[in-house]
């Protein structure tokens, strides 16, 4: 009875907090919308297209195979293509598409949300493009990003996925030339491919998509596995102690493999906690010591990556590396599990929900990832490895 009361109270508080956050976002949107009025562009340039994809690193990796198809198509059609992307993905774009002839504009999200002068500079650059068509292929759009950018171009043909039902749906779906109906299921790779098929009216081959980066040489052990404990949300982070125990288990299976601890500068504290618990001595700590392309290289050459729902999983998955993910079930089916043809990717989720139920597809809840016990993770890892 007490557990039920606590659960109801928790759900009520979460609902109230979400409503407060939604109201703050709407207020911020209308405040920022006032800035746009000075830069609204009603003219359009024929055969000029603006492609907007402002997601973070993992999402960009999953979009890259579809982006290649779009770039090649526009090149063949002699269309002028501009790409507006998240600045953190700049090195990846330039590495994957070095001769694309795409003009790029890179948006710093931190500056965008905090600095009106910076936003105005971006508005000026975008309005000068005068696109005839603007594509928003992201399955999840934001009124503070895509919503504001769309408002710059009232006469431009705009194409996107229909927005998910919610407080901002009427804004995100307003004044679009074409809104594709949202699929009821599908991995992000499949969703991106589906968008391209619908827009280009082409049927794309159903195949496994691996990325071919031009990666730098790195001084790495001959055989190693990666542990990456990072994640842009605390709810996605399994405990460092649990990671250490699971890494020890795999090291016992492969005693000749070194362990490489991988992560960004913000993950140094997690790496220290891991090392304080990890009983093996053959590890290398590269946390905060790699750039993005070096990070990709380490993921590519690994025998196995053990990680949270973070970019390391996608770097490994789309370069053919075996990846085992500790996931909290957030947005189940859209990012994990991977499509069946990606047999190199496995995952474990908290066991208290039937995530295979359709109602949990792209679910925005956050299960307690530390409900996943080390013993269960060991068993799932063994099954994934075929042991």
Q: What is the DSSP string of 315-384?
A: HHHTTT--EEEE---TTTTTSSSPPTT-TTEEEE--TTS-TTSGGGTT------GGGS-HHHHHHHHHHH
Q: Greater confidence, 140 or 368?
A: 140
Mean pLDDT throughout 241-257?
97
Q: Is the pLDDT of residue 366 over 70?
A: no
Q: Is the pLDDT of residue 234 over 90?
A: no
C-alpha distances in Å from residue 347, one per residue of 54, 199, 308, 328, 332: 26, 32, 9, 10, 11
pTM metric for this prediction: 0.91
CATH architecture of 224-385: 3-Layer(aba) Sandwich (3.40)
Q: Greater confidence, 133 or 206?
A: 133
Q: Greater confidence, 43 or 364?
A: 43
Q: Greater confidence, 355 or 290?
A: 290
pLDDT in tens, 192-222: 999 999 999 988 776 666 788 999 999 999 9
SS3 content of the chain, % helix, strand, coil (to 5): 45, 15, 40
Contacts of 32 (CB under 8 A, 6+ apart): 119, 144, 148
pLDDT given for residue 188 in this prediction: 95
275's enclosing H/E stretch is: helix 268-277
Domain assignments of the chain as residue spans, ordered by start: 39-200, 224-385
* Beta partners for residue 48, in sequence order: 80
Q: What angle do CA 295, 296, 301 make, to 5 degrees?
A: 105
Domain 39-200: assigned CATH number: 3.40.50.2000
Q: What angle do CA 326, 109, 319 make, to 5 degrees?
A: 40
pLDDT in tens, 287-341: 999 999 999 999 999 999 999 999 999 999 999 999 999 998 888 889 999 999 9
Q: Is the pLDDT of residue 7 over 50?
A: no
Confidence of residue 3 (pLDDT cuts 50, 70, 90): very low
pLDDT in tens, 86-99: 999 999 999 999 98
Domain pair 39-200 / 224-385, same fold: yes
């Amino acid at each position: 009875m007490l557990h039920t009361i606590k659960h109801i109270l928790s759900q009520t508080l979460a609902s109230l907090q979400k409503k407060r956050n939604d109201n703050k976002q709407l207020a911020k949107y209308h405040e920022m919308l006032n800035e746009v009025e000075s830069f609204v562009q009603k003219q359009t340039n024929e055969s000029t297209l603006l492609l907007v994809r402002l997601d973070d690193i993992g999402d960009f990796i999953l979009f890259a195979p579809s982006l290649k198809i779009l770039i090649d198509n526009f090149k063949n059609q002699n269309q002028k293509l501009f790409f507006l992307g998240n600045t953190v993905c700049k090195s990846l774009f330039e590495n994957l598409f070095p001769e694309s002839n795409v003009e790029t504009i890179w948006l710093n999200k931190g500056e965008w949300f905090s600095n009106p002068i910076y936003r105005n500079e971006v508005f000026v650059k975008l309005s000068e493009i005068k696109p005839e068509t603007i594509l928003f292929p992201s399955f999840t759009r934001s009124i503070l990003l895509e919503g504001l950018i769309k408002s710059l171009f009232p006469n431009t043909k705009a194409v996107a996925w229909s927005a998910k039902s919610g407080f901002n749906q009427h804004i995100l779906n307003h004044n679009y030339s074409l809104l594709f109906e949202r699929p009821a299921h599908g991995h992000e790779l499949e969703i991106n491919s589906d968008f391209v098929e619908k827009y280009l009216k082409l049927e794309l081959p159903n195949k496994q998509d691996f990325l071919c980066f031009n990666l730098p040489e790195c001084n790495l052990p001959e055989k190693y596995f990666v542990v990456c404990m990072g994640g842009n949300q605390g709810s996605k982070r399994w405990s460092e102690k649990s990671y250490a125990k699971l890494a020890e288990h795999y090291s016992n299976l492969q005693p000749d493999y070194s362990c490489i601890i991988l992560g960004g500068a913000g993950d140094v504290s997690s790496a220290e906690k891991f090392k304080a618990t990890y009983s093996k001595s053959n590890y290398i700590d590269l946390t905060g010591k790699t750039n993005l392309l070096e990070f990709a290289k380490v993921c590519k050459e690994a025998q196995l990556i053990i990680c949270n729902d973070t970019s390391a999983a996608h770097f490994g998955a789309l370069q053919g590396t075996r990846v085992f993910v500790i996931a909290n079930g957030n947005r189940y089916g859209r990012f994990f599990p991977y499509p069946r043809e990606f047999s190199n990717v496995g995952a474990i989720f908290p066991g208290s929900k039937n995530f295979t139920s359709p109602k949990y597809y792209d679910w925005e809840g956050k299960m307690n990832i530390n409900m996943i016990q080390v013993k269960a993770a060991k068993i799932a890892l063994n099954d994934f490895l075929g042991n």
